Structure 1
Amino acid sequence: MAAPVIPSSFQIYNSYVEDPKWQIKFTTIWCSGLALAVAVSVPSLILGLRHGRSLKGITGISETNGYRTAHSESDSIEPPPTRRRFRRSVGAWNALISPVYWSPPKLGLNLGQIIVLSAYLAAVLVCIIKDAPLISNPNRAGFIALAQFPVVFLFATKNSILSLLLGPGNGYEKLNFMHRMAGRAMFLAGCIHGSLWIRNHLQYGLSVLGPQKETSGVASLALLCIIVLTSLRPVRRLFYEYFFVIHVLTYVAFFVTICYHTIYASPWIFPPLAFYGADVLLRLFRYRIKDASLTAQDAHMTLIRVHNCDDGWLAGQHVRLRVFFSNRVLESHALTILSAPPSISCLSSPGLILAARTDGDWTRALNNYTRKEQERLQINEKCEGDSSAFVQVMLDGPYGGSSVDLGLYESVLLIAGGSGITFTLGLLDDIIGRCVKLGRSQGERTRRIEFTWCIRSFGQIEWFAPMLIDIATAASNSAIDLHISIFVTCLCNPEAVPHIPNSIVTLSRPSVQELLKDFISLPPTSETEDMIETRFDETKKWQCSGGGVAVCASGPESLTREAQNAVARLGMTMSMDVGGIALHTELFTL
């Protein structure tokens, strides 16, 4: 005779049996979404592997003690013909995803990221609420909070397998928005779990503090609150060094207290430890201690030239830099490499060059130290002109980079605001060098480049004028039409503007949307009549060939958001007409 079955309406909810099932369901949901993202990125990954971009720099900066031989007939080589089927596929894909670039003000997120975060939050809430008696037994929220651990660390580590699988240009800085959302979802679930249990204990007269489980639970919730509150953007921007120290100490303490609180935490602790351990191991391969020379351009900009670095990075990537000077040895800061590797670079003095604009305590101290050292060297050595201050530095990287390979597109629009030029200048040096110096050895199709820089004063042009002159000179004798536009928003000293070939300086603030529209329709405006006619015919041919347009913008949030919205507003039809518009933005913020 079979045992009687208790009706479901009278069964007691067993959270330790049912809630772990919802942890598995939630993990299955986000892993499926991640697998879809990786599948979509497979073509980009394959292309990056084929061109040597995907794994570039995985073992750090290298010293080759020699340069590659420049192509002897690079100036006479024309761009290869565009394969129509390939270009149509790329153009259709870029046109399809262009609406997701739209970005509302203040959020710092585009539409695609908002959709991803909304879906993730919806999955968290459904897994917490669905068929769960939260008022009487809020354990489900606690279990879902534990399930956030792998997501938090997967999207936080600098050396993540995920960055490799998603292809070039998808470094930790691009994935960090998911890390923040997972942390806030953990905080939300933890607050639901903790507050409802405290309510139940107060309702039934039970002690909230005292027993180990309750005490460790309250301590875990308190630590989680500290982690989230000190991670808010104003705190990160104003007190980054304090934020970093507090962040590390509190998440270590949180790991300990949560393991004391519940035995069910252990399985969810091991994946984060594995992710973090892999990150630390790979960093050991990327650390370099090098000699470097510092040059203060003025009181607002310091150039850092790292010696004996010939390869191991891509244009647009950045490093974490630690300069051994004064009492600032323990501080490291992210700086973009503003030059291509010497085998590609068009600069007269190639190498690994960084630029630190005076915009905080560390950069101001570095600039002051450099100027004092230069003055001391000039007095002691009685040398004429500027001299460089020599220091030792530690490099960690490279990381990040551009998700768009400019060589795949016939037209390139580079837009920078202020110190954001360090990103676009590196890309410009790279694509000109690949086309001119290496003779389009990887089939680069780039014919036309518009380089736009928005600055506040004419004096800032001097920061990078020698480099722009080198690159413009290299491009002037090739099949590439390079035009440099500098927009100055403050009337200062226009007589101090240096002469850069094929460039124009304008006293205004440009509209990125108008720049993009003019660029893709392109009648040049500042040439002689014959030149206008000739270049218009060439441009018309380029546009009709559907070779695609690559747009890269870097600088403050207002500029990158404007670039995203400009591409999104063009619409699918116009994007398809030019062969698709690819976009990469680099936001200079914490």
Structure 2
Amino acid sequence: MSAPTVPSSLQIYNSYVEDPIWQRKFTIIWCSGLALAVVVSVPSLILGLRNGRSLKGIAGVSETNGYRSAYGSDGKKPPPIRRRSRRLVGAWNALISPTYWSPPKLGLNLGQIIILLAYLAAVLVCIIKDVSLISNPNRAGFLALAQFPVVFLFATKNSILSLLLGPGNGYEKLNFMHRMAGRAMFLGGCIHGSLWIRNHLQYGLPILGPQKETSGVASLALLCIIVLTSLRPVRILFYECFFVIHVLTYVAFFVTICYHTIYASPWIFPPLALYGADVLLRLLRYRIKDATLTAQDDQMTLIRVHNCDDGWLAGQHVRLRVFFSNRVFESHALTILSAPPSHSCLTSPGFLLAARTNGDWTRALNNYTRKEQERLQIDEKPDVDSSASVQVMLDGPYGGSSIDLGRYESVFLIAGGSGITFTLGLLDDIIGRCVKLGRSQGERTRKIEFIWCIRSFGQIEWFAPMLVDIATAASDNSIDLHISIFVTCLCNPEAVPHIPNSIVTLSRPSVQGLLKDFISLSPTSEKEGSIEPRIDESQEWRSSGGGVAVCASGPESLTREARNAVARLGLTMNMDVGGIALHTELFTL
């Protein structure tokens, strides 16, 4: 006769058997969502592999034996537009365009918010489903441990995930999930720790003393330090302190959590593997190079890195460390503002970076450069525009644009302030590919609107020579390029340099209005407040449904306005123009 079965209602809940099951369920949920995102990105990945964009820069910048400096355009016309495929692209972009909408202050779009809410819901369901947390608070602790792989997968700069999601999906685009997973770990740790402390107080058990309790309290304290010092105000105001504290505390957290529970070990190894792979790949990307610094004024410093001819895409950025004064241990992210010399339109092509004075490091760099330039001019010739020579360390490149501008008939580039470093590189790249390389990769771009929003006329001089070079290269070829500069400060308008086919306007633009006019090609007559009227000689040009690419870079307010503009116009215009693709660049701490 078989032994009687104890009813499930009377069975004692075995946390160490049941809770790991919910860890695995949670892991299956987020891995399934990740797999879906990878599947959706397969077309972009395949296209990136075909044209070499996906693997570009994976081994760092490189030096070649030379580059073509003469124009090589063979007059090749843009390839024909495939109507059916473009309508499918337009339908897909119309479907996802509402996800670009961004509420103020959050720094996230609707698509990211939906992902975060779904992730948080999965965490909460797995924590509270079929368990009494007050009497069995271990479930929350087990789910906190399950966050380890997510935290590190979305934090490392060199992640296999960035490669699988296609070009333009670097760590800076995925970091919002890293922060969410860290907060979910903090939530689970707080629930687990606070309820255990409550139970110990209720039954008169010691909170400190035994190894398990002491290591648990230490782990929770370290987790609190990690989360609180990672808040945005702390990161912005005390970034160097934040970085040091972050590294030291998560190492200590790893040690204490392993002392606290033997069930932490399986969840520690994946983060260690991810971090080890990141360090290894980062070693492959490190370069120490000679460079020259040129101070445009007391607000902008240009950095030309020598012997870097290839290994990056326009719009990518590097972590730069300049060996000067006592700042050798600081590195900062700067966008590469030029295309590779093989097809750059600049008179002096190369690896160019720009550092806007916006903090202690950039201010110190600008002061050092100006002092060195003054010293060199005194020691050599007063009329020579000398540049300060330094050595730099590069880590990268990373990031870049998620859309290939050459696939679109119309391109709309808008930047605010120093955000021009991103859009200027894209402009140099697409003009060079069409003009110098003769559309060798099937580029179909025909019309480009380049917009720059700045606070004063003096800032135009920062990049005026480069804009002149690019506009000159495009003027006699099959690309209709317009440059619009919007200035919000009434000061010295006589200092505006001449840039071919450009207009300078004293106003703050409406991104939605500019984009709508660009897509609909409504006549652009003389605008109120313009320094000179635009003479648009291309009003006979009409879109043939080749799609519109929109790239925005700059302050959060501008990129949010660009996302909202595409979200509104995408629902009504995507099908007509063959799809509106969007990429925004907002590098924040």
Common fold by TM > 0.5: yes
After superposition, the C-alpha distances for 1:104-153 in whole angstroms (9 at most, x for unaligned) are: 00000000000000000000000000001110010000000000000000
CA distance in 2, matches of 1:80, 1:69: 25
Contact 2:416 2:454 survives alignment (8 Å): yes
Residue 574 (structure 1) shift:
1.4
Q: Deviations over 1:217-264 (max 9, x none)?
A: 000000000000000000000100000000000000000000000000
What's the counterpart of residue 259 of structure 2? 260
- 1:308 aligned partner, one-letter code: N
1:536 correspondence with 2:539: yes
Mapping of residues 79-90 of structure 1, within 5 Å: 79-90=78-89
1:107-126 maps to which residues of 2 (within 5 A)? 107-126=106-125
- What residue is the counterpart of 2:377 in the other structure? 378
Equivalence map 1:151-162=2 (5 Å)? 151-162=150-161
| Equivalence map 1:47-446=2 (5 Å) | 47-68=47-68, 72-74=72-74, 76-446=75-445
| Residue 26 of structure 1: how far off its partner (Å) | 0.1
The within-5 A match list for 1:513-528 is 513-526=512-525
Greater mean alpha carbon deviation, residues 65-74 or residues 178-187:
65-74
| Conserved? CA contact 1:557–1:588, under 8 Å | no
Matched to 2:48, the amino acid is: G
User: Can you list the C-alpha shifts for 1:348-368, whole angstroms capped at 9, x where unaligned?
Assistant: 000000000000000000000
SS of the residue corresponding to residue 507 of structure 2 reads: coil
Distance in structure 1 (CA, Å) of the matches to 2:71 and 2:23: 58
Shift of 1:518: 0.6
Give CA-to-partner distance per residue, 1:76-105, whole Å, 9 cap, x none. Answer: 222111122222222221111111000000
1:558 aligned residue: 557
Q: Is the 8 A contact 1:454 1:509 kept in 2?
A: yes
1:3 is aligned with what amino acid? A
Is residue 156–residue 175 contact of structure 1 (8 Å, CA) maintained in 2?
yes
* Alpha carbons 1:486, 1:506 under 8 Å: kept: yes
Q: Match of 2:15, as an amino acid?
A: S
1:560–1:587 contact (8 Å) kept in structure 2: yes
1:556/1:588 contact within 8 Å kept: no
Paired with 1:117 and 1:72, the residues of 2 have a C-alpha distance of: 48
Separation in structure 2 between the aligned mates of residue 72 and residue 212 of structure 1, nearest angstrom? 72
Q: Which runs of 5+ in 1 are unaligned?
A: none
Mapped contact 1:194–1:218 kept (Cα < 8 A): yes
* Deviation of the 1:384 alpha carbon: 1.2
Q: Secondary structure of 1:483's match?
A: strand
Report if the CA contact (8 A) 2:69-2:343 is conserved. no
Q: What is the one-letter code of the residue matched to 1:32?
A: S
**Cα separation, partners in 2 of 1:251 and 1:531, compared to 1, 3 Å:** closer
| Aligned mates of 1:291, 1:58 — CA distance in 2 | 21
Local SS of the residue matching 1:98: helix
Which moves more between the two structures, 4-13 or 335-344? 4-13
Aligned counterpart, 2:497? 498
Q: Secondary structure at the match of 2:46?
A: helix
Q: Who is 2:529 aligned against?
A: none
Aligned position for 2:3:
3
CA–CA distance in 2 between the matches of 1:222 and 1:492? 53
Q: What is the TM-score normalised by the length of structure 1?
A: 0.97
1:456, 1:561 → 2: CA distance?
Answer: 19
Distance in 1 between residues matched to 2:72 and 2:583, nearest whole Å: 32
- Could you give the per-residue CA deviations for residues 257-309 of structure 1, whole angstroms, max 9, x where no partner exists? 00000000000000000000000000010000000000000000000000000
3-state SS of the aligned residue for 1:451? strand
Distance 1:78 1:401 in 2: 27
Report the CA distance between 1:530 and its aligned residue.
Answer: 14
Counterpart residue number, 1:15: 15
**In structure 1, distance between residues paired with 2:235 and 2:5:** 57
**Whole-Å separation in 2 of the counterparts to 1:588 and 1:61:** 21
Q: Which amino acid aligns with 1:226?
A: I
Paired AA for residue 488 in structure 1: V
After superposition, the Cα gap between the structure-2 partners of 1:428 and 1:107, relative to the gap in structure 1 and judged at 3 Å, is: same
Contact preservation (8 Å) 1:156, 1:172: yes
Quote the offset at 1:584 in angstroms: 0.2
Taking the aligned partners of 2:234 and 2:397, their CA distance within structure 1 comes to 26
- Provide the rounded CA distance (Å) in 1 between the counterparts of 2:357 and 2:372: 17
SS in 1 for 2:78: coil
Indicate if the aligned counterparts of 1:556 and 1:589 stay in contact, CA closer than 8 A. Answer: no
* 1:337–1:525 distance in 2 versus 1, CA, 3 Å: same
| RMSD, aligned CA | 1.4
Distance change in 2, residues 1:536/1:124 (3 Å): same
Deviation at 1:70, TM superposition (A): 5.3
Preserved CA contact (<8 Å) 1:420 1:588? no
CA distance in 2, matches of 1:524, 1:67: 41
Instruction: Indicate if the aligned counterparts of 2:290 and 2:306 stay in contact, CA closer than 8 A.
Output: yes
TM-score scaled by length of structure 2: 0.98
Inter-partner Cα distance in structure 2 for 1:529 and 1:537: 19
Once the two structures are TM-superposed, the CA of residue 400 in structure 1 deviates from its matched residue by 0.1
SS in 2 for 1:142: helix
Of all paired residues, the percent bearing the same amino acid is 87
Q: Contact 1:168 / 1:401 at 8 angstroms: preserved in 2? A: yes
| Alpha-carbon distance in structure 2 between the residues aligned to 1:479 and 1:424 | 20
Rounded to whole Å, the distance in 2 between the matches of 1:571 and 1:583 is 10
Cα deviation code 1:14-59 (max 9, x no counterpart)? 0000000000000000000000000000000000011110000000
Amino acid at match of 1:19: D
Three-state SS of the structure 2 residue aligned to 1:255 is: helix
- Equivalent residue, structure 2, for 1:585: 584
3-state DSSP of counterpart to 2:296: strand
2:73 and 2:434 in contact (8 A); partners too: no
Using the TM superposition, give the Cα deviation of residue 10 of structure 1 relative to its aligned residue in structure 2, in angstroms. 1.0
Q: Give the aligned length.
A: 584
Q: Is the 8 A contact 1:150 1:272 kept in 2?
A: yes
Partner of 1:45: 45
Q: Deviations over 1:511-536 (max 9, x none)?
A: 1010111110113425899975x622
Contact 1:38–1:166 (CA under 8 A) maintained in structure 2: yes
Q: Give 3-state SS (helix, strand or coil) of 2:539's partner.
A: helix
Runs (5+) with no aligned partner, structure 2: 527-531
Distance 2:299 2:533 in 1: 41
Q: How many Å apart are 1:71 and its aligned residue? A: 6.0
1:66 corresponds to which letter in structure 2? Answer: G
